[in-house]
């Protein structure tokens, strides 16, 4: 319950934060702390120093950007749920966010914190993958843009370098006339996804013309299922097709098994949530 | 190393010397003797430690005291005003929304946060909103009734969240 | 005059609890207080080769580090208090801190005392223990097999006991039975999860030799007795204070090593010492519940008459026998094998096994849920075998209303019952026939609906002390109250039991206020401090109202009898001519000649004018020892829909019709049922403590152990019938555990009913989506 001793500094500006991170002394970034503090309490993380970025204004907030969205890394899940922009355009993100943790976690937890933590069963990575988001990273060394698909690299592993800070996530607009949805089956205790599917679709006369599909909770990271998404294009998403898409989505994926869901069950659930998410998205078109 | 932290709790300023690793709930309980905020788990599941941070339900066991500096904190002790119970406290009493009372402070504060953003929640919305507060005694049914009763009472009066 | 008895008045304990002014043990702070932490074994079974605490002792702020070797002479091992007779019970020593060997993950190895909680935590990391791991055994049946790793050198084969319950001729009944059904049932191990973890604050005064121990206890007098034994202190110098307690569900009955360790440290160091569990520590170090492997069978006639039940049960006790451990799977379980039915032939063999796991003891229902579940599952299986309606099979076998008191084959006598009454009411609330039609229609659309029924009775209101002695329970089972009336007429009632959420500060005040014609505000109920409360035996086994409440009632009546004598004296009237009306004793026919209770309280306490032979003061003590247990009963119904695609179970409706005799406060009784049922549904659908083969607890935090959340649980529909108990003057029974006892069977019956068309006969709880889905796959594969 009690972390090891560490030092704590509050960043006064973005520049200040990047300077601290450049120190290279094992500093961990904290915003809401809802991914990090549980690890600290069990002493699974033992950083020498915490850098609190919650007060840096330019890291928070949701704004319209190139007809899509720009979401600051320190934006809380609560702010996402309260955002009219998200509600009007990105149902997939609303679906997922309303199921993240609980009210208290959503009040304090930040999207950037969750993404940088890269829990393999977290909901948001799948959503950002399906939406084709890109992440702006910065360090004293410079800026770079990393696509969501390149960002998640394994269990608790991302493209972020030690001295880098996740600044914001840029989400492109949905295809015109497109719709989206997220469906997951949750582990009863933790609320994390046993299997979750994020879907963006576009239809023309009931036929799917575009599809993006990402899954989470199944393996060491959230992933895009591009081949499966292609199978859907050109179909009317009939039950047989959905079954094929669901099976294709996890083809070649090493599925995690645990006390809550053996791998065989998770594989099956993946197909179920893929089918249900596609149906839900199409119903919203 | 301890450092001095200024915390605004229930409308009063407190200055406490804490280690950066001190959780807000420990400082509330052990340093300020505000023992109405409880600790029921160590994985941010149970919500017994819930306080309001700038009016929003927050798990004080998943918040460092140093993070809380500059924010308005309301604990269960700050809800009743001039001997008058907050409508949510009253509703929990009226509807038998508590048994052992251990989860109750956190539960009440979460429910206040709920009505702040949704003054007329359905049963399903109430149940979803208190997912982060575990109660082992009541089976939640009377807590739902209490929130419904408080919603009626609070719609008739201005909502008050910080003391 | 209207009575408070039967009235849903608001609870009197609530104002402090809803304002944060309650006092739980961890809220207690004393001058000079230091903190304790216990290093717990990460191995299920290992030899301790060496403990090096040098670095921990050297940390600034650390006062002491103790290991098992420091305690062997100072402390008597942790006792088991249920000396089950006729069972060849083996009780190996349970040291406060492990010596030589650890026997479960969580077994205490060392204790640190330091100036702050944080230093304690840091110091625990600095203790270096060299373990030699041994093989673990977590399944109670496996523990009894030859070749299983042996936990205790003096308990060969790990068998703690073998206990038999028998009545009639079960073997004979099975030999000539027309129909036989059998099931293998796993009773999932559960984590009680009182929201308040355990805590203790000990303060020893070497000058007076007095130990004060604030403890999270359901039964402070039992803790006083057992702590005095463990600490070798005279019992009159041990004071236990159990303040507000944040739920127990059985987990705060036992005497644990930890509380005695904290007291030991205070005695050694001369400082008050506080210890509080973390939740993950609670999940390892506080008792677990259930954990049976049951082989059960039922026989009967083709016409649906049940003629016999046979069981072989392997009950896991964990690494050591906890306080009530041996009694739970035997006395509280096997004696209930007749359920609500006239089953003439019963035979059960219960084996208690030591396993390398956390000790198992009473968890809400304690033995009775495990009995009800196996009976109700068997009855459903029997009905399905016959192709009969499970409701009608139950009806056919009910103990008839006019046969009470009724002695069942296991030898116990049920006090009162009307099983048809609760069943009929529940069926009416559901529209059972209507649901069956809906179910058939849904099945045609490929949807799986089911209805589950459970008609239970249970043994509670523990119980006659003479029986306690006969069954090896290491204490009495009476309870007690002192009703003390102050000069101004205000009343304090000191009780031997210890409410911790059940609302007796309210219901007991209702009893007393009625007796004195008072508003309830004039009566305060005091509990938890052994220095001012009379000897009592605590809150468990749904006994507090039936036993403790009756003591309160009798004490209040004694006070009133004395007041009446004084009233007669003051009114210069014959006692026989007085009547009690509107809160006054008045001379019959002369309403102006009257004395109110408050005035009599003053006159008794100042004693200016007492009649000859009547002592001053106005108080009375009562000890009530019931003549029998009480047997609440009821019918629970549940409808479900199973999503065959995911295995998810959705409860559509849950109906509970209970009969707990007369009801003092209906609101509070409903609350008990709500909580009990939800715990039972948790047991049925999602709660399970899982160990791997190495004895590691895989559900060691709330991230993995699924305590029910509001969003996962249904709205419950409640009703009652009232069949008073003849065992106590108020006609009350108990209601703390009925919900849990009934709910698990009700829900599992419903799910098995829904899936019966797939050929599924039984699925072990908890019915998690993964488990249900796997069962459906097996059934589809043709191997149900």
In a domain, B62, yes or no: yes
What residues contact C431, with CB distance under 8 A and at least 6 apart?
A: none
Looking at residue C783, its pLDDT comes to: 46
- Is C303 an 8 Å CB contact of chain A? no
Across the interface, whether the CB atoms of A4 and B21 are under 8 A apart is answered: yes
First-to-last alpha carbon distance for chain B, in angstroms, is 32
Considering only CB atoms, A6 lies closest to which of B21, B44, B57, namely B21
Q: Which residues of B touch A189 (CB under 8 A)?
A: 45
pLDDT score of B158: 55
**Phi and psi, residue C646, nearest 5°:** -110, -15
Same domain, A69 and A150: yes
Same CATH topology for C14-134+196-246+252-285 and C292-462+628-780: the answer is no
Q: Is the pLDDT of residue C142 over 70?
A: yes
Q: Note down the domain range covering A157.
A: 57-171
**A188 close to B (CB below 8 A):** no
C769 in A contact zone (CB under 8 Å): yes
Range of the domain at B120: 87-155
Contact A101 B132 (CB under 8 A): yes
Cα angle at A103 between A99 and A106, to 5 degrees? 70
Whether residue A279 lies within 8 A of chain C, CB to CB, comes out as no
Cβ atoms of C218 and C538 within 8 Å: the answer is yes
**Interstrand relation of C716-720 and C648-659 (parallel, antiparallel or unpaired):** parallel
C17 vs B101: CB contact, 8 Å cut-off?
A: yes
pLDDT recorded at residue A24:
81
- Alpha-carbon span A240 to A57, nearest angstrom: 49
Q: How far is A241 from chain B (nearest CA, A)?
A: 33
Q: Return the SS3 of C326.
A: helix
C570 touches A: beta carbon within 8 Å: no
CATH number where A240 lies: 3.30.390.50
Of the residues C120, C121, C189, C770, the best mutation for testing chain A's interface (the one with the most A CB atoms within 10 Å of its CB) is C770
Residue C370: CB atoms within 10 Å: 27
DSSP one-letter code for C253: S
User: Residue B129 and residue A54: Cβ atoms within 8 Å?
Assistant: no
Of A171, A200, A226, the position where a domain reaches its end is A171
Q: Note whether B74 and B12 are same-domain residues.
A: yes
Residue A188: its chain C contacts at CB < 8 A? 686, 706, 712, 768
pLDDT band at C784, cuts 50/70/90?
very low
Q: Which of residues 188-247 of A touch C (CB under 8 A)?
A: 188-190
User: Which of B77, B85, B139 lies at the smallest CB-CB distance from C674?
Assistant: B139
Total number of domains constituting chain A? 3
- Distance, in Å, from the CA atom of A33 to the CA atom of A110, rounded to the nearest integer, reads 8
CB contact under 8 A, A265 and C703: no
Does the pLDDT at position C323 exceed 60? yes
- The set of chains that have 3 or more CB pairs under 8 A with A is B, C
Pair C299, C57: CB distance under 8 Å:
no
Q: Is B62 within 8 Å of A7 when comparing Cβ atoms?
A: no
Same domain, A36 and A65: no
* Residue among C7, C15, C17 with most chain B CBs within 10 A, to mutate: C17
Is residue B97 situated within a structural domain?
yes
Question: Buried (b) or exposed (e) across A76-87, using 16+ Cβ within 10 A?
Answer: bbbbbbebebbe
Instruction: Check whether residue B151 and residue B91 sit in a common domain.
Output: yes
Sign of CA dihedral C277, C283, C284, C289: positive
CB C646 to CB A189 under 8 A? Answer: no
| Chain-centroid distance, C-alpha B82 | 19
Confirm or reject contact between C704 and chain B (CB < 8 A).
Answer: no
Q: Do B20 and A50 touch (CB under 8 A)?
A: yes
Nearest residue of chain B to residue A190 (CA atoms): B45
**Does residue B48 belong to any structural domain of this protein?**
yes
C774 and A CB contact within 8 Å: yes
Q: Which of B20, B63, B67 faces A6 most closely, judged by CB atoms? A: B20
Closest Cβ opposite residue C667 in set B34, B96, B131: B96
Express as a percent the part of chain C with pLDDT over 90.
99
Separation CA C423–CA C721 (nearest Å): 10
Question: Between residues 617 and 646 of chain C, which touch chain A (CB distance below 8 Å)?
Answer: 645-646
pLDDT average, residue stretch C169-182: 98
Is the peptide bond between C405 and the residue preceding it cis, with omega within 30 degrees of 0?
yes
Secondary-structure class of domain C478-624 per CATH: alpha beta
Taking the C-alpha atoms of residue C318 and residue C41, their distance in angstroms, rounded to an integer, is 15
- What CATH number corresponds to the domain at position A163? 3.30.465.10
What CATH number should be reported for the domain holding residue B34? 3.10.20.30
Please give the Cα distance from C280 to C116 (Å, whole number): 20
Give yes or no: residues A118 and A196 share one domain: no
Residues C58-115 have pLDDT tens digits of 999 999 999 999 999 999 999 999 999 999 999 999 999 999 999 999 999 999 999 9
Best mutation site among A46, A55, A56, A102 for testing chain B: the one with the most B CBs within 10 Å?
Answer: A102
Residue A1: predicted pLDDT: 86
Cβ distance of B36 and C711 shorter than 8 Å: no
Chain C partners within 8 Å of B101 (Cβ): 13-14, 16-18, 22, 244, 246, 501
Kindly give the pairing relationship between strand A49-52 and strand A7-10.
Answer: parallel
Q: Is the Cα torsion angle C93, C96, C102, C107 positive or negative in sign?
A: positive
CATH of the domain at A15: 3.30.43.10
Look at residues B78, B102, B136 and tell me which one is the last residue of a structural domain: B78
Burial C606-623 (b: 16+ CB within 10 A, else e): eeeebeeeeeebbbbbbb
Q: Does B161 score more than 90 pLDDT?
A: no
- Find the closest chain B residue to C33 by CA distance: B30
Question: Cβ separation of A34 and B62 shorter than 8 Å?
Answer: yes
Select from B35, B51, B78 the last residue of a domain.
Answer: B78
- Closest-CA residue of B relative to C503 is B99
Residue B12 lies inside a defined structural domain of this protein: yes
With respect to residue B163, please indicate whether it lies within any of the assigned structural domains: no
Domain at B93, CATH number: 1.10.150.120
| C15, C194, C702: residue with CB nearest B45 | C702
| Pair A125, A32 in one domain | no
- Looking at beta carbons, which residues of chain C come within 8 Å of A274? none
The stretch C425-430 carries a mean pLDDT of: 98
Chains interfacing with B (3 or more CB pairs < 8 Å): A, C
User: How far is CA B68 from each of CA A16, A52, B16, C266, rounded to the nearest angstrom?
Assistant: 20, 11, 12, 35
| Residue range A193-223, pLDDT digits in tens | 999 999 999 999 999 999 999 999 999 999 9
For residues A107 and A167, membership in a common domain is answered with: yes
Contact C197 B33 (CB under 8 A): no
Residues contacting C486, CB < 8 A, separation 6+: C492, C601, C605
Q: How are strands ordered across the β-sheet holding C448-457?
A: C448-457, C633-643, C648-659, C716-720
- The two structure tokens encoding residue C693: 């083969």
Q: Give the start-to-end residue ranges of the domains of chain C.
A: 14-134+196-246+252-285, 292-462+628-780, 478-624
Q: What is the pLDDT of residue C2?
A: 78
Interface of C with B in 190-249 (CB under 8 A): 193-197, 244-247, 249
Q: Is residue A1 part of a domain?
A: no
What are the CA-CA distances from residue C470 to residues A273, B117, B137, C255, C467 (Å)? 58, 60, 33, 22, 5
Q: Is C117 on the interface with B (CB under 8 A)?
A: yes
Partner residue facing A265 (CB), from C690, C704, C770: C770
Q: pLDDT averaged over chain C?
A: 97
Chain C residues with CB under 8 Å of A5 CB are 122
C650 touches chain B (CB under 8 A): no
Contact A105 B113 (CB under 8 A): no
**In the predicted structure, residue B79 carries a pLDDT above the cut 70:** yes
Q: Do A103 and B57 touch (CB under 8 A)?
A: yes
Record: contact B56-A4, CB cut-off 8 A: no
Read off the pLDDT of each residue in C196-222 and give the average, rounded to a whole number. Answer: 98
Cα–Cα distance, C32 to C28 (Å, whole number):
12
Q: What is the CA radius of gyration of chain A?
A: 19
- For the cut 80, the answer to whether the pLDDT of residue B157 exceeds it is no
Query: Does A186 share its domain with A147?
Result: no
Any domain includes A112: yes
Q: Options 3.40.640.10, 3.30.1490.190, 3.90.1170.50, 3.90.730.10; which CATH number does C14-134+196-246+252-285 get?
A: 3.90.1170.50
Chain A residues in contact with C122 (beta carbon < 8 A) = 2, 4-5
Which H/E stretch holds residue C587? strand C584-587
CATH architecture of C292-462+628-780: 2-Layer Sandwich (3.30)
Taking residues C588-596, report their average pLDDT. Answer: 93
Number of domains chain B contains: 2
Residue A2 lies in a domain: no
Question: What pLDDT shows up at residue C440?
Answer: 98
Distance separating alpha carbons of residues A17 and A9, to the nearest angstrom:
9
pLDDT score of C266 more than 90: yes
**Tens digit of each residue's pLDDT (9 = 90 or more) over B45-73:** 999 999 999 999 999 999 999 999 999 99
Q: Are residues A45 and A62 in the same domain?
A: no
pLDDT-based confidence at residue C1 (cuts at 50, 70, 90): low
Beta bridge partner(s), residue B147 = none
pLDDT at B159 over 80: no
State percent of chain C over pLDDT 70. Answer: 99
Q: Is there a contact between A185 and C712 if contact means CB atoms under 8 Å apart?
A: no
Residues A68 and A162 in one domain: yes
One domain for residues A164 and A191: no
Q: Which residue is closest to C17 within chain B, CA to CA?
A: B101
Q: Which residues of chain A have pLDDT under 70?
A: none
Q: Is C132 on the interface with A (CB under 8 A)?
A: no
Contact at CB, C247 and B99, closer than 8 angstroms: yes
Minimal CA separation from B63 to chain A, in Å: 7
């Amino acid at each position: 319950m009690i972390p090891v001793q560490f030092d704590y500094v509050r960043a006064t500006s973005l520049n200040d934060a990047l300077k601290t991170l450049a120190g290279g002394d094992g500093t961990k970034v904290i915003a809401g702390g809802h991914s990090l503090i549980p690890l600290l309490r069990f002493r699974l993380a033992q950083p020498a120093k915490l850098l609190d970025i919650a007060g840096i204004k330019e890291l928070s907030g949701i704004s319209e950007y190139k007809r899509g969205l720009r979401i600051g890394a320190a934006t809380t899940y609560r702010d996402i749920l309260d955002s009219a922009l998200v509600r009007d355009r990105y149902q997939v993100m609303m679906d997922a966010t309303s199921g993240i943790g609980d009210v208290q976690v959503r009040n304090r937890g930040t999207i950037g914190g969750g993404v940088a933590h890269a829990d393999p069963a977290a909901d948001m990575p799948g959503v950002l993958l399906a939406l084709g988001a890109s992440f702006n990273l910065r360090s004293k060394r410079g800026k770079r843009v990393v696509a969501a698909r390149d960002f998640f690299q394994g269990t608790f592993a991302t493209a972020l370098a030690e001295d880098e800070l996740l600044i914001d996530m840029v989400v492109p607009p949905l295809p015109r006339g497109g719709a989206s949805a997220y469906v997951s089956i949750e582990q009863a205790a933790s609320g994390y996804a046993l299997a979750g599917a994020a879907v963006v679709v576009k239809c023309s006369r009931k036929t799917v013309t575009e599809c993006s599909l990402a899954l989470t909770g199944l393996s060491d990271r959230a992933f895009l299922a591009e081949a499966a998404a292609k199978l859907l294009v050109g179909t009317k998403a009939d039950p047989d097709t959905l079954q094929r898409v669901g099976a294709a989505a996890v083809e070649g994926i090493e599925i995690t098994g645990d006390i809550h869901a053996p791998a065989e069950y998770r594989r099956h659930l993946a197909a179920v949530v893929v089918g249900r998410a596609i149906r839900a998205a199409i119903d919203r078109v | 190393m301890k450092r001095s932290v200024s915390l605004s709790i229930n409308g009063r300023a407190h200055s406490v010397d804490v280690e950066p690793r001190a959780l807000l709930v420990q400082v509330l309980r052990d340093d300020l003797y505000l023992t109405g905020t409880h600790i029921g788990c160590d994985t941010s599941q149970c919500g017994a430690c819930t306080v309001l941070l700038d009016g929003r339900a927050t798990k004080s066991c998943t918040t460092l005291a140093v993070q809380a500096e500059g924010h308005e904190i309301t604990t269960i002790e700050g809800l009743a005003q001039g001997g008058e119970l907050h409508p949510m406290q009253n509703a929990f009493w009226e509807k038998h929304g508590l048994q052992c009372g251990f989860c109750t402070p956190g539960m009440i504060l979460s429910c206040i946060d709920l009505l702040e953003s949704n003054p007329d929640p359905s049963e399903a919305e109430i149940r979803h909103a208190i997912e982060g507060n575990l109660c082992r005694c009541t089976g939640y049914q009377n807590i739902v009734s209490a929130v419904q009763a408080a919603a009626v009472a609070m719609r008739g009066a201005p909502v008050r969240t910080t003391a | 005059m209207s009575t408070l008895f039967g009235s849903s008045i608001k609870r009197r304990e609530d104002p402090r609890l809803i304002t944060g002014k309650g006092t739980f043990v961890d809220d207690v702070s004393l001058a000079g207080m230091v903190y304790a932490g216990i290093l717990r074994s990460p191995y299920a079974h290992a030899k301790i080769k060496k403990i090096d605490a040098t670095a921990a002792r050297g940390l600034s702020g650390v006062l002491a580090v103790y290991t098992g070797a420091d305690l062997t002479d100072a402390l008597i091992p942790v006792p088991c208090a249920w000396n089950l007779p006729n069972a060849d019970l083996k009780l190996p020593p349970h040291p406060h801190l492990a010596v030589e060997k650890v026997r479960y993950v969580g077994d205490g190895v060392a204790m640190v005392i330091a100036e702050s909680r944080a230093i304690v935590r840091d110091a625990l990391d600095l203790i270096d223990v060299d373990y030699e791991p041994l093989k673990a055994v977590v399944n109670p049946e496996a523990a009894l097999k030859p070749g299983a790793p042996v936990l205790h050198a003096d308990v060969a084969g790990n068998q703690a006991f073998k206990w038999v319950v028998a009545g009639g001729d079960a073997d004979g009944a099975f030999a000539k039975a027309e129909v036989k059904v059998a099931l293998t049932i796993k009773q999932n191990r559960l984590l009680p999860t009182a929201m308040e973890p355990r805590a203790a604050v000990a303060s020893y005064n070497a000058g007076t030799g007095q130990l004060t121990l604030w403890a999270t206890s359901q039964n402070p007098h039992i803790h006083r007795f057992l702590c005095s034994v463990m600490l070798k202190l005279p019992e009159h110098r041990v004071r236990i204070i159990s303040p507000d307690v944040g739920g127990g569900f059985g987990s705060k009955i036992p005497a644990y090593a930890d509380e005695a360790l904290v007291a030991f440290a205070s005695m050694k160091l001369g400082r008050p010492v506080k210890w509080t569990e973390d939740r993950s520590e609670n999940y390892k170090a506080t008792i677990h519940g259930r954990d049976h492997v049951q082989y059960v069978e039922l026989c009967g006639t083709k016409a649906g008459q049940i003629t016999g039940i046979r069981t072989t049960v392997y009950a896991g006790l964990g690494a050591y026998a906890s306080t009530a451990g041996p009694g739970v799977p035997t006395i509280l379980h096997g004696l209930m094998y007749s359920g609500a039915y006239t089953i003439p032939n019963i035979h059960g063999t219960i084996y208690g096994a030591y396993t390398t796991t956390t000790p198992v003891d009473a968890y809400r229902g304690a033995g009775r849920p495990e009995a009800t579940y196996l009976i109700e599952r068997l009855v459903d299986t029997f009905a399905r075998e016959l192709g009969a309606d499970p409701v009608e099979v139950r009806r056919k076998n009910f103990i008839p209303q006019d046969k009470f008191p009724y002695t069942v084959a296991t030898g116990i006598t049920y006090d009162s019952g009307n099983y048809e009454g609760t069943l009929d009411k529940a069926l009416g609330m559901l529209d059972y026939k209507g649901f069956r039609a809906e179910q058939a229609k849904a099945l045609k659309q490929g949807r799986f609906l089911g209805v589950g029924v459970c008609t239970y009775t249970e043994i509670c209101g523990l119980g006659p002390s003479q029986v306690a002695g006969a069954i090896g329970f290491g204490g009495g089972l009476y309870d007690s109250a002192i009703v003390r009336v102050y000069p101004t007429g205000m009343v304090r009632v000191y009780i031997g039991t210890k409410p911790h959420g059940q609302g007796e500060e309210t219901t007991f005040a209702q009893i007393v206020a009625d007796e004195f014609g008072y508003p309830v505000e004039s009566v305060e109920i005091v509990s938890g401090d052994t220095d001012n409360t009379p000897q009592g035996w605590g809150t468990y086994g749904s006994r507090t109202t039936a036993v403790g409440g009756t003591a309160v009632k009798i004490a209040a009546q004694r006070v009133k009898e004395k007041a009446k004598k004084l009233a007669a004296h003051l009114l210069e009237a014959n006692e026989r001519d007085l009547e009690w009306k509107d809160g006054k004793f008045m001379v019959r026919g002369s309403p102006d000649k009257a004395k109110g209770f408050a005035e009599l309280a003053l006159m008794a306490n100042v004693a200016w004018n007492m009649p000859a032979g009547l002592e001053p003061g106005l108080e009375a003590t009562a000890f009530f020892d019931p003549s029998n247990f009480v047997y609440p009963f009821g019918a629970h119904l549940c409808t479900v829909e199973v999503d065959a695609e995911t295995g998810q179970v959705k409860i559509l409706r849950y109906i509970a019709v209970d009969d707990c005799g007369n009801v003092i406060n209906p609101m509070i009784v409903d609350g008990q049922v709500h909580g009990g049922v939800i715990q039972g549904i948790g047991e049925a659908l999602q709660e399970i403590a899982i160990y791997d083969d190495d004895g590691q607890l895989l559900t060691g935090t709330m991230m993995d152990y699924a305590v029910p959340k509001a969003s996962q649980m249904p709205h419950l529909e409640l009703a009652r019938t009232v069949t008073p108990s003849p065992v106590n003057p108020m006609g009350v029974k108990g209601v703390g555990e009925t919900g849990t006892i009934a709910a698990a069977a009700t829900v599992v019956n419903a799910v098995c009913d829904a899936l019966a068309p797939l050929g599924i006969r039984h699925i072990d709880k908890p019915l998690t989506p993964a488990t249900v889905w796997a069962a459906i796959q097996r059934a589809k594969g043709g191997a149900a």
